[in-house]
């Protein structure tokens, strides 16, 4: 019905597939992040932790280098960041302790707050030097991914 309301023609599933693929095409890849990931891949276990939708994330992730040991998508895990269950799932998967992990993220609430509440150190990626309007404080803050090499 909604397709007809907007004057769109076609099969709903085909249109949604096209839409979701288009969302993935809009993903921006930071060149310095790619360089840093390629340096870190041989030293550390790397994972993606996202609250994104299963149907959209694969399109976005194809733009990243193949360096990740695992991709954790909240929809598949039946829990999401910032809830501790999300982070416990990841540490259990890798059979590691929270203090052995570092969460790097751009969301103070979901990434940084969730990690902190789970005993995981965090690194806030803040390229725009945004003011923190919350009490949540990261252990580290970077403005360019190259700075991560000084932390790890």
pTM of the model: 0.82
The stretch 5-21 carries a mean pLDDT of 63
**Tell me: the pLDDT tens digits for 71-89?**
999 999 999 999 999 999 9
The string of DSSP letters for 85-149 reads: HHHHHHHHHHT--GGG-EEEES-IIIIIIHHHHTT-EEEEE-TT-----SS---SEEESSGGGHH
- Dihedral angle, C-alpha 122, 56, 80, 109, nearest 10 °: 40
Do the beta carbons of residue 140 and residue 123 sit within 8 Å? yes
Residue located via tokens 């992990």: 101
Q: Which of the pair, 124 or 11, is modelled with greater confidence?
A: 124
**Tell me: the pLDDT tens digits for 26-40?**
666 789 999 999 999
Cα dist from 118 to 10, 36, 90, 141, whole Å: 46, 25, 11, 18
């Amino acid at each position: 019905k909604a397709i007809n309301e907007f004057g769109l023609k076609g099969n709903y599933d085909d249109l949604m597939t096209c839409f979701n693929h288009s969302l993935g095409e809009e993903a921006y890849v930071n060149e310095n992040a790619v360089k840093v990931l390629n340096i870190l891949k041989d030293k550390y276990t790397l994972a993606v932790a996202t609250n994104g939708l299963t149907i959209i994330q694969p399109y976005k992730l194809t733009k990243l280098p193949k360096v990740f040991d695992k991709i954790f998508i909240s929809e598949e895990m039946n829990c999401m960041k910032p809830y501790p269950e999300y982070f416990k799932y990841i540490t259990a998967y890798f059979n590691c302790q929270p203090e052995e992990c570092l969460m790097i993220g751009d969301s103070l609430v979901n990434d940084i707050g969730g990690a902190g509440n789970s005993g995981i150190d965090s690194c806030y990626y803040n390229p725009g030097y945004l003011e923190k309007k919350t009490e949540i404080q990261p252990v580290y803050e970077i403005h360019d991914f190259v700075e991560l090499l000084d932390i790890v």
